[in-house]
Amino acid sequence: MRYVLAVITMILLCGCVGDNGVKIICDESFKCPLEDIESSGINVKEEMAQSFSCIRRAGEQDIVIVSDYNLLTLLYPDKTNYYIKFAADSIVIAYSKSLNEKWYEMEDVKIGIMNPNTSACGYQTLMVLKLAENYYGDDSILYNFICKNTKIRDEETIVVPENLEVNGNVIVETSFSDLVNDLEKVDCIFIYRSIAEKNNLKFLELPDQINLGDAKYRIMYNDAKVTLFDNVTIAGNPIIYGLSLLSTSSEAIRLVEFILSSRGKEILEESGLIPLNPPLTDNLNNVPHSLRVYLEEEAPSVSKPV
C-alpha cells in the first residue's frame, strides 16, 4: 500500500509543483539524497548550509532539514511546532594513508573538523572526543586533539567561542567538500559515515558508545554537552536527521510524504543513511494529516537545546 502511495505521490509532485519549486533549506550533508529526489522529477529550490546555520536562517522556506533533529525545537513555537525524525548516521574518522586503531593515543596529530558554531557535525565531533575520554579512561583526549590547538575550552560543558583561533594542528571547515579535500593536508578528519562512504574514503569506525550512532546509548551521549558562542547549550544525542514544514504548501507536504515513503527510504539507504522505521515525531497532532500514516509519536525530548 505504501509503495502505491509513493508512486501516486511522485506523479502528483511531478505534475503539480509550481515553477518556483519547493523551497528547502537543508544541511549540506543531505545534498546527495536531495539530488536523487530532484532527479526523480521533483522541482526543488534548495539552499544548502550547515545545520545550525539552517536554523538561524529558517523562515521563508517551505521545509527545513537538519542533521540534528533537536535543533528544530529552537524554531518552536513561532516557525514550527513539531519535528519529524527520519534517518540516522554516525561519526567516523576518515584518513588518507593509515590510522592507528589507538588513534586516541596519537600525539601532535593534525585533524580536520567542521565548524562547531555552524555545523552539527562540528559540535558532534567535540562530543565524540569527550565521550571517548570516558570510554578509554583518558581525560586528555579532547585537550590533545582540540583544546590545546584552539580556544575551545573543556569546562562544565565544552565551550566554543565565536573565534576559534586554531593553530596548525586543526583545520576547521564550513563545507563538507572542503573537509574531504583536507585529507591531503591532515592525518584524519571527523565526518559523517554517509559522506565517507559516498566519497569512497577509508575510515575507522568508532565504538557505538561514542560514535553517536546508536539510540540505545542516548543517555550516555547526553553526558557530552557543548555550549556554542551564542550561548546555546546542546546535549549529545544520536545523530538523527530531522525535518519540519515551515509552510502549508501542498507541494511541500507531498515532498515530505515522498521522503517518508518506501522509495524515499531507498534513496536514503543509497546515500548511506539509515532510515528510521517508522519515522518519529514529537507531536503527531501538529503534523499535516496526510503525513501521519507514516509516523509514530515519541515522548518529547528531555535534552533539547537551551
pLDDT in tens, 258-301: 999 999 999 999 999 999 999 999 999 999 999 999 999 997 66
What CATH superfamily is the domain 91-235?
Answer: Periplasmic binding protein-like II (3.40.190.10)
224, pLDDT greater than 80: yes
Predicted pLDDT at 19? 53
Asked whether the predicted pLDDT for residue 23 surpasses 80, the reply is yes
Distance CA 242, CA 102 (A): 33
Same-fold call for 2-88+239-297 versus 91-235 = yes
pLDDT for 168: 94
Pick the CATH number of 2-88+239-297 from 3.40.190.10, 3.60.130.10, 3.30.750.210, 3.40.718.10: 3.40.190.10
Residue 190, amino acid: F
| Average pLDDT of span 97-124 | 95
φ, ψ for residue 288, nearest 5 deg: -50, 140
Q: Distance (Å, rounded) from C-alpha 123 to C-alpha 279?
A: 24
Binning pLDDT at 50, 70 and 90, where does residue 108 land?
A: confident
Mean pLDDT of the chain: 92
pLDDT band at 107 (very low <50, low <70, confident <90, very high): confident
pLDDT at residue 128 above 70? yes
Confidence of residue 223 (pLDDT cuts 50, 70, 90): very high
Half-sphere exposure of 17 (CA within 13 A, CB side): 22
In this predicted structure, the answer to whether residue 52 has a pLDDT above a threshold of 60 is: yes
Span 203-220, average pLDDT: 98
CA–CA separation, 43 and 295 (whole Å): 25
Contact in structure between 158 and 117 (CB atoms under 8 Å)? no
Task: Give the DSSP per-residue string, 245-283.
Answer: ESS--HHHHHHHHHHHSHHHHHHHHHTT-EEEEEEEES-
d(CA 294, CA 275): 12
Name the E strands within the chain. Answer: 22-27, 44-49, 63-66, 84-88, 91-95, 111-114, 153-154, 158-159, 170-173, 188-192, 202-205, 225-227, 233-235, 240-245, 274-281, 296-297
Question: What integer pLDDT is reported at residue 1 of this predicted model?
Answer: 46
pLDDT score for 37: 86
Which residues on adjacent β-strands are paired with residue 280? Answer: 85, 296
Report domain extents, the chain. 2-88+239-297, 91-235
* Average pLDDT of the segment spanning 207-216: 98
Cα(277)–Cα(129) distance, rounded to whole angstroms? 29
pLDDT interval class at 118 (50, 70, 90): very high
Average pLDDT over residues 58-64: 96
Q: What's the whole-model pTM score?
A: 0.92
| Mean pLDDT of the 233-254 span | 96
**3 state DSSP class of 142:** helix
What is the DSSP secondary structure assignment for residue 10, as one 8-state letter? H
Contact 2, 26 (CB under 8 A): no
